[in-house]
Structures are given as structure tokens and as C-alpha cells.
Structure 1
């Protein structure tokens, strides 16, 4: 008998909303002082771009962050930029994550 350490399905947000990025920075694309416009109705990578991802645990969402995804132009495999600096790896390394939404826009404060 095995015990699952991941919640079967933590609640999801829906619709389009603005979110402060203090808990999901991903420099240089997303800084902790930015505001994100997120479409929470998108739960899968459908095109290249920036996505809000979540890692689930037995008690709910354990971690949240932004990651850039793309389709590799040569192999066609789905990849993610692990560091935000162009370190593309196969997206299967993040199989414990779920797509919480697509980041449609990043708003950066003017200083």
C-alpha cells in the first residue's frame, strides 16, 4: 500500500486577475516588485511563453513560481527555462508541477 504525498487536486483560481509577484520572482523576466496579469483558465502550455506554475504537497500548494516554456525548434520537445537565463531543460523535470495560469503581461514599477 502506498500513501500519496500530493493532494489529489488543490483548488484552482479562474478568470483573469492581477497578482503581485513577491512570491514568484523569476529574474530577469519577473522581479518581486512586478505585477502580473494572469489568465488562470489556462492549465496547460499551449504556446511558448511565461506561465505561473505550482508544486503541490499533501497540504496544498507547497511552492509557486514563474517559468518560461517553449517548444524546442529542433526536437519539438517541450522545454522550460530553469533559471530564467536561457538554461533550457526538458519540461519532464518539472512533472510534479501544474500550470496555474499563463502570464499575459508583466507590469514593472517605474523608478
Structure 2
């Protein structure tokens, strides 16, 4: 939405891909996220530990509403979560503890 403070546009991706901004100047983008496989989750006395296997695909949205694929990024991450219950409300924190290296990249 235009009123949302964080706008995903080709201009904001210029640092990572100058060609994207050159080819599609200041166009809006969409980001599609999904899990590639089930997460691994283990319960410990102090926290929950997990590994997430996800992908993100970015699209440039053209003025005629056509979506052009921009990039696909696989993101595998280790996370730690600490759930809390206060006055019948479930809350907690989640912390990124590391990224899982891609074995194909060495």
C-alpha cells in the first residue's frame, strides 16, 4: 500500500542490482515467500530451536500490471524462539541465529 512506510521498488534494490533499476526505473515490486520444505523444530528447556527452509521470488510490477520475474533467492536460516505467557496472552521473541550455507556454493 502507498501509505505503508516500507515500499519495495526497483529503486530500493539498486544497491543489489543496478541493472534492475536501469531496466525498470522506480517500478513497484512484489515479493512472494514460501517454505521449500517442512521446518526442523526441537524443544529445549530454555528455548525452541528451528531451521527454516524458504524461498523468496521478486517480481517487477509493470504499469499494465504484468509481473516480470526479477530474482529467486533461497533462504535457509537457524532461529531460536522463547515463548512467554502473560495474563493468558501468548507472546515471545524470535532471533535469527545463523544462515545455513548452501552446499552447492562450497
TM-score normalised to structure 2 length:
0.29
Name whichever structure is richer in helix by fraction. Answer: 2
Largest Rg, 1 or 2? 2
TM-score normalised to structure 1 length:
0.28
* Larger relative contact order (CA 8 Å, sep ≥ 6): 1
Name whichever structure is richer in strand by fraction. Answer: 2
